[in-house]
């Protein structure tokens, strides 16, 4: 892919700031071909706090660039310079018009339009029903394709020894410039962990990784109980939660896309890890200590046993019958019943069961899930 000449000197338009970085847009104009737009992510090294590290992010992108994949963000170029806050790392990549979160939000439609000219008194306002928006994301057309694309990208990332650590819809870019096809691109490696990078391992040992990673509802259960020697399987859990959003029937607040679990986040309050734990256990049951050895051996075993006991609650999903498991999965993702292809529905359910184990060592890998999807071919 050709680079804009002298991109470092082109004027930049700031798009938005994150806590540690600035995203800017530049454009390359030409009379011979349409304008190309690019993004620059600028991160001051001295302001980034662990697990954020622009050097490690750049190293991960370089590593992934050796054999570029369609579903993984491609690093086009990079630079460093002295800025107001010390040395800044700049990475250049293509600009994408939308991310998956924005795309999904566009596919929720009000069930009943609100008449703005209808005057409500105080009592009527209090009793007015909550606006419910129907999910019209076309799962029959997109679900399998999107799932496979994300698995392809994530499988490649994992095979390079990298844990992404922040899989969520906002970190999935969408390229729809190629006709009717939609390409999903995994981005933002700002808190990724390379299990083969000596410098990163020295700063953050393999068995003492930072657990304050992932975002909100996408945080894997082992992270919630302090397991620090976690693996790439935390990304598999995050992917499960992300995909579960496609199969929810409705939303009441598009600032927070619904999923199979929730952490209490709404317009009036922030979510919390304890609410997320309770939601997970409500939906999939509580395993016994024997069924969750990584927490008992490497995590906050005392907290788990003290709050929930060591014997489980006899409703852990993996101990249920095949029929019960299927009903539980459908209960968490009701739009599975809207899939026209029964074999596809059963395949999705089988994959979700493989991904849903609270004990990450038996959670399916991307490769194992893709093997199951290949049976549909």
Q: Catalytic residue numbers?
A: 166
Residue 78 class from Cβ within 10 Å (0-12 exposed, 13-18 middle, 19+ buried)?
Answer: middle
Q: How many residues does the chain have?
A: 377
Residue 29 class from Cβ within 10 Å (0-12 exposed, 13-18 middle, 19+ buried)?
Answer: exposed
The answer to whether 225 and 303 have CB atoms below 8 angstroms apart is yes
Distance CA 222, CA 144 (A): 27
Q: Which two tokens stand for residue 376?
A: 């549909």
Across the strands, what pairs with 39?
Answer: 25, 93
């Amino acid at each position: 892919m050709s680079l804009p000449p002298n991109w470092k000197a082109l004027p930049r338009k700031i798009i938005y700031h994150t806590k540690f970085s600035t995203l800017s847009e530049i454009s390359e104009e030409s009379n011979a071909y349409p304008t190309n737009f690019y993004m620059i992510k600028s991160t001051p090294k001295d302001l980034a706090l662990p697990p954020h590290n622009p050097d490690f992010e750049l190293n991960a992108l370089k590593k992934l660039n050796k054999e570029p994949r369609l579903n993984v963000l491609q690093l086009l170029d990079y630079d460093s310079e002295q800025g107001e806050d010390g040395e800044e790392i700049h990475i250049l990549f293509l600009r994408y018009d939308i991310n998956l979160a924005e795309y999904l939000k566009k596919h929720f439609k009000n069930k009943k339009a609100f008449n703005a000219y209808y005057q409500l008194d105080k009592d009527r306002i209090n009793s007015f029903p909550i606006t419910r928006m129907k999910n019209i994301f076309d799962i029959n057309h997109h679900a399998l394709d999107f799932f496979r694309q994300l698995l392809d990208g994530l499988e490649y990332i994992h095979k390079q020894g990298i844990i992404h650590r922040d899989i969520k819809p906002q970190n999935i870019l969408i390229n729809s410039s190629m006709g009717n096809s939609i390409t999903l691109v995994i981005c933002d490696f700002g808190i990724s962990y390379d299990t083969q990078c000596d410098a990163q391992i020295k700063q953050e040992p393999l068995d003492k990784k930072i657990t304050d990673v992932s975002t909100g509802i996408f945080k894997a259960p082992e992270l919630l109980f302090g397991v620090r020697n976690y693996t790439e399987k935390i990304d598999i859990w995050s992917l499960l939660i992300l995909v579960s959003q496609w199969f929810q029937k409705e939303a009441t607040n598009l600032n927070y896309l619904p999923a199979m679990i929730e952490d209490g986040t709404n317009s009036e309050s922030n979510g919390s890890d304890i609410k997320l734990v309770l939601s997970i256990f409500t939906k999939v049951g509580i395993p016994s200590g024997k069924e969750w050895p990584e927490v008992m051996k490497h995590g906050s075993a005392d907290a788990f046993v003290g709050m929930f006991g060591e014997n489980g609650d006899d409703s852990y999903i993996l101990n249920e019958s095949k029929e019960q498991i299927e009903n539980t999965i459908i209960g968490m993702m009701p739009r599975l019943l809207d899939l026209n292809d029964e074999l596809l529905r059963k395949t999705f359910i089988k994959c979700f069961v493989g991904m849903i184990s609270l004990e990450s060592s038996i959670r399916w890998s991307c490769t194992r899930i893709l093997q199951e999807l290949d049976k549909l071919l």
